[in-house]
Amino acid sequence: MACPKIKPLFFFTFITGLVECLCFAGVIFGWAALVFVLKSEGYFESLCVNVTSANGTQTLDCSVQDEQFSLVFTIASFMNNFSTLPSGFLYDRFGTLVARICAICIYTGGMLMVALSSPALAILLFPAMSCIAVGGGLILISNIQVGNLFGSRRFTVITLYNGAFDSSAALFFFLKLIHETGISFHAFFLFVAACSVIHLLRTFFLLPKDFIPHPLPENYSIGSPCSKSKTPELAPKKLPMEPAVPDIPEKTFRECIVSRMFILHLVWLSVMQLRHYLFIGTLNPMLHRLSDGDPSQVSQYINAFSITQMCGVLCAPWNGLIMDRHKGKPRAEGMSEQEADLNSSWLSLLLTALQCLLFSLCASIPSLPLQYLTFILQVLNRSFLYGGNAAFLNVAFPSCHFGKLYGLVMSVSALVSLLQYPCFTLVKDVLGGDPLYVNIALTIFSLLAFIHPLSVYLHCRKLISQRAANKA
């Protein structure tokens, strides 16, 4: 029996996954907007103290309050990356259903803790925001496989989902706007927690119990009894443009993590992520210095930066289109689909490294108007970076290890990103608040990211040479 609704179902799965990533998964990165709301509600207000200035006037010093909010975000953002390692193992070992149920429970628990918190129970923000970050990260991991439903646009979907994850920071910005109209932020978090019912429905009816395979078998469907009846016919047929290639045994997980390609990819991600984290961490004092302390100008540039962060979902698909550019074209004789995908990935890796270099150069130049261009390059590079990371791991290594490899690379890069703290200390205590020399050092350091695309390019050329020699 034919399944006429397979394609519409795939599209509906894609759209609901996009909404899930855009509205829920990465909300932790909208922390700056949430802090405004929490401060107005009196969270950690007891840490503010009255201080007497030199002229005898008293002012309220809330620096300790700011440090406490900063600590909440530091722990949550670190957990967002570091937890991807156990999350990846959970996903690979138990499949989509178990992983998503765990993610939804953790995420909902975090939202409920914020909803039930108060200035007297502000300590709940620490576990709450970490749970929201961990649950949202696992939701993203479980959605990346949806790209397998769209063979010729596989990487476009993967990068789009990662861009949507970045743009979901807008949820807390929306909270800030409605809070100013008098709506309780506790009610908002209760509403978001209640939306977990939608996540559960999607888990049971639009996603498989285990995984969406790649390459996608013929007549494959999800959420339909047709998938059961068509099991014997799931073997994909060879198309004329897909010449037969010899079967290559899949690498073990250990072989993957000790490979040169994985190590260089880890360096590629870690170098650029550290550059981004340091830029965000020093942005406010940098703008304060460049504007000579003009608060209106600082506010103007901070608003511009916040708005550009919401555009990640618009930037990310361009990276996927670059990686998908070879789809639908005949492959060279003897070239596997994985090799063709890998051959198209080096350009994406190269462009991402080039964007980071340009972004770092602009950030290092002490010119205030130039920072508008810096903001654009930053969000473009961030979108390419995380979308390209997920897409490359999907291409270069066996899909059975994707969750573990994704978790490992994000966890190790999270550890590397802790270097931002000694950099902060160096700028503040040694360089008098001027990050120029640190920015120059990191710009030079970012050149390491160019090694990875060059290595992938040379690897692909080597495979082409080997095929030509074997054919001769």
Q: How many whole angstroms from its chain centre is CA 56? A: 49
Peptide linkage before 215 cis (omega within 30 of 0): yes
| Token pair 């950030």: residue | 363
With a cut of 70, say whether residue 370 has pLDDT above it. Answer: yes
Quick one: which of 297, 349, 300 has its CA closest to 323? 349
Q: How far is CA 297 from CA 31, 273, 425, in A?
A: 21, 27, 26
pLDDT computed for residue 327 by the predictor: 62
CA dihedral (364, 370, 373, 378) in degrees, to 10, reads 30
CA gap 291, 289 in Å, rounded? 6
Instruction: Tell me what the mean pLDDT of segment 62-91 comes to.
Output: 81
With a cut of 80, say whether residue 345 has pLDDT above it. Answer: yes
- List of residues 6+ apart from 215 with CB closer than 8 A: 148, 151, 236, 337
Q: Kindly report, residue by residue over 190-221, the tens digit of the pLDDT.
A: 999 999 999 999 999 989 988 888 778 877 77
Confidence of residue 244 (pLDDT cuts 50, 70, 90): very low
Quick one: which of 452, 353, 397 has its CA closest to 250? 397
Contact 220, 213 (CB under 8 A): yes
Residue 289 phi, psi (nearest 5): -75, -45
Confidence of residue 151 (pLDDT cuts 50, 70, 90): confident
Q: Are strands 58-61 and 49-52 parallel, antiparallel or unpaired?
A: antiparallel
Residue ranges of the alpha helices (H) in 365-450? 371-396, 402-417, 420-425, 436-445
The residue type found at 18 is: L
CA gap 190, 116 in Å, rounded? 9
Instruction: Tell me what the mean pLDDT of segment 352-357 comes to.
Output: 95
Q: Kindly report, residue by residue over 334-344, the tens digit of the pLDDT.
A: 677 777 778 88
CB atoms within 10 A of CB 194: 12
pLDDT computed for residue 319 by the predictor: 80
More confident residue, 318 or 271: 271
Contact 364, 439 (CB under 8 A): yes
With a cut of 50, say whether residue 247 has pLDDT above it. Answer: no
Residue ranges of the alpha helices (H) in 196-336? 196-205, 226-229, 253-257, 260-290, 295-309, 312-323
Instruction: Tell me what the mean pLDDT of segment 112-141 comes to.
Output: 93
Instruction: Tell me what the mean pLDDT of segment 220-235 comes to.
Output: 46
pLDDT computed for residue 331 by the predictor: 67
CA gap 19, 14 in Å, rounded? 9
Q: Kindly report, residue by residue over 377-432, the tens digit of the pLDDT.
A: 988 998 889 888 888 888 888 877 877 888 889 888 888 887 877 887 787 778 77
CB atoms within 10 A of CB 303: 10
Contact 383, 21 (CB under 8 A): no
With a cut of 60, say whether residue 259 has pLDDT above it. Answer: yes
pLDDT computed for residue 329 by the predictor: 65
DSSP string for 233-258: G-SPPPPTTS------PPPPHHHHHT
- List of residues 6+ apart from 121 with CB closer than 8 A: none
